[in-house]
Amino acid sequence: MALRIRLQRVGKKNRPIFRVVVIEKSRAVSGKPVDTIGDYDPIKHKISLDVQKYEQWLKSGAVPSDTVRGLYKKILKSKKIQDEIISAISSTS
């Protein structure tokens, strides 16, 4: 069973919203996912991804799409920036 981590569109016309899902590679675009691990709203630029689940699925052999891989990198980058800000604030106190 080859698993992919990819986006699944669930939004309205001219208002896209995507779910980040783990799904069998051979399933249709609107097929039933094995697991839902996040959401992505490109209009509001909101990304919510369960990083622990994502990494667990990677360890079990799931392959992310290029778009999902890019979203994951954005999350890690923003998390790193937040950690730097928090450490800078706490070191000045």
Q: Which residue has the tokens 């890019």?
A: 70
Residue 37 to residue 34: CA distance in whole angstroms: 10
* Contacts of residue 45, Cβ cutoff 8 Å, sequence gap at least 6: none
Residue extents of the structural domains in the chain: 3-92
Q: Model-level pTM?
A: 0.82
Q: Which fold has domain 3-92?
A: S16 Ribosomal Protein; Chain: A; (3.30.1320)
**Does the structure show a pLDDT above 80 at 83?**
no
Over residues 28-63, the pLDDT tens digits come to 777 789 999 999 999 998 999 998 999 999 999 999
Q: Is 58 exposed, middle or buried (0-12, 13-18, 19+ CB in 10 A)?
A: middle
Contact 22, 57 (CB under 8 A): yes
